[in-house]
């Protein structure tokens, strides 16, 4: 039985306070509902509203979320980082490509928030993938009415992954574990159209890779499951070769 993280409940209170009657549904997705939260996992929430977010609401909401979201990479209070993406029903009904969100909250944006910068509507292939995955596995945390998330077709899933690939590759250095596991998961989804956890995708990919490259992915998987740090700096050649191999498997579908 899935246990709702306490921070998710706290977040729901904040969302209901700021969105009021505009709030349609709130979903848990990601690790919370797939394989279970790992040591470094965020708490992922997908929110649906039916009215645009005002600038004042955006700022006040983000400031409240900053108070309860865990700092990355280590939070002194043991809290987890929040990742919250808010979609308008009108945008979900159209399901444009790439998908457009009304608001996003993430700890990588905290410095901008502290400087008074609060990003508005954003379009990104990552949101298309988020909706695709959520439609398969998200669990309703709260809803005013029954709301069915849109189904993203395999064509757009593959398109979004190919469009996301260059930025993912550029972020390899400094985020080796996450990038390698994300590439493995993208490869699995390209093959099957389904979404699974990062560690499950690594297990699948390792069986199909050359041994010397599979060993690098195995290290990333173990680090993900245990939270231990890895000295990636001394493995940059091996990491790059592994990432290139995985990216090539993904680009087969271009």
CA distance 250 to 202: 14
- Cβ(51)–Cβ(40) under 8 Å? no
Cα–chain center distance at 202: 17
Q: Would residue 83 show up in a list of annotated catalytic residues for this protein?
A: yes
Contacts of 233 (CB under 8 A, 6+ apart): none
Closest CA to 187 of 174, 168, 173, 211: 168
* β-pair partners for 97: none
Q: Are 204 and 198 in contact (CB under 8 A)?
A: no
150 to each of 55, 89, 131, 140, 222, how far by Cα in Å? 27, 10, 7, 14, 34
Q: Which of 9, 59, 83, 91 is catalytic?
A: 83
The H or E element spanning position 123 is strand 122-123
Residues annotated as catalytic (active site), given as ranges? 83
């Amino acid at each position: 039985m899935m246990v709702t993280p306490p921070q998710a409940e706290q977040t729901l209170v904040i969302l209901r306070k700021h969105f009021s009657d505009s709030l349609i549904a709130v979903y848990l997705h990601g690790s919370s509902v797939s394989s279970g939260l790992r040591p470094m996992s965020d708490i992922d929430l997908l929110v649906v509203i039916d009215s645009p977010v005002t600038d004042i609401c955006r700022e006040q909401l983000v400031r409240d979320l900053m108070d309860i979201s865990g700092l990355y990479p280590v939070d002194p209070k043991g809290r987890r980082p929040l990742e919250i993406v808010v979609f308008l029903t009108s945008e979900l009904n159209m399901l444009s490509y790439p998908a457009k969100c009304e608001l996003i909250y993430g700890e990588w944006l905290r410095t901008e928030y502290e400087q008074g910068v609060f990003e508005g509507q954003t379009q990104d292939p990552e949101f298309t993938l988020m909706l695709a995955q959520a439609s398969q596995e998200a669990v309703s945390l709260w809803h005013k009415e029954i709301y069915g998330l849109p189904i993203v077709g395999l064509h757009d899933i593959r398109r979004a992954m190919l469009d996301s690939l260059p930025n993912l590759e550029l972020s390899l250095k400094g985020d080796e574990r996450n990038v390698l596991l994300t590439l493995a998961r993208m490869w699995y989804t390209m093959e099957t159209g389904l979404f699974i956890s990062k560690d499950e995708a690594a297990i699948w990919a390792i069986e199909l890779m050359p041994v010397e490259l599979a060993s690098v992915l195995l290290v990333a998987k173990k680090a993900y499951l245990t939270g231990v740090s890895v000295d990636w700096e001394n493995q940059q050649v091996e990491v790059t070769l592994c990432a290139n191999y995985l990216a090539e498997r993904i680009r087969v579908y271009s």
